[in-house]
Amino acid sequence: MDREKRREIRQRLYKSQSGRCIYCQDKMFNFKGQQIHPKRATIDHVVPTIKLEKKKVSWVGFFGLKFNFVVCCQQCNRSKSGQPWQEWVLEKFGDEEVSKVLTRFCELVISEEGREAW
């Protein structure tokens, strides 16, 4: 995926998520405490791409992958790293947050589905 496309995705997800991290719900700041520009928001893969490759998920084409993107803050991205999001959210934020994050994923997919082609 080219750089311009990634910037566009970042910007759109940032808008859909109201500038908030999908996981912790904080406004997205960089390590200097400055608000992140929408084009520089950190993209996270809901299902780590390595897992998709291992499962040889051939049906995951452009649209499949589209819904695998969220944006999150740098702190969460760094902390989560390659862990499955469910395990990481459970460990970091507790049981109740897992279903809240899942709800946000669903809401995001619905809002993105409603948009025209990327």
What is the nearest approach in angstroms of Zn ion to the Cβ of residue 41?
11
Nearer to Zn ion, 1 or 89 (CB): 89
What is the nearest approach in angstroms of Zn ion to the Cβ of residue 26?
5
Nearer to Zn ion, 9 or 72 (CB): 72
Distance in angstroms (rounded) separating the CA atoms of residues 41 and 19: 9
Would you give the DSSP letter of residue 50?
A: H
Nearer to Zn ion, 55 or 86 (CB): 86
CB proximity list for 36: less than 8 A, separation 6 or greater: 28, 29, 30, 42, 73, 74
How many Cβ atoms sit within 10 Å of the Cβ of residue 23? 24
What is the nearest approach in angstroms of Zn ion to the Cβ of residue 67?
20
Site residues (vs Zn ion, CB under 5 A): 21, 23-24, 73, 76
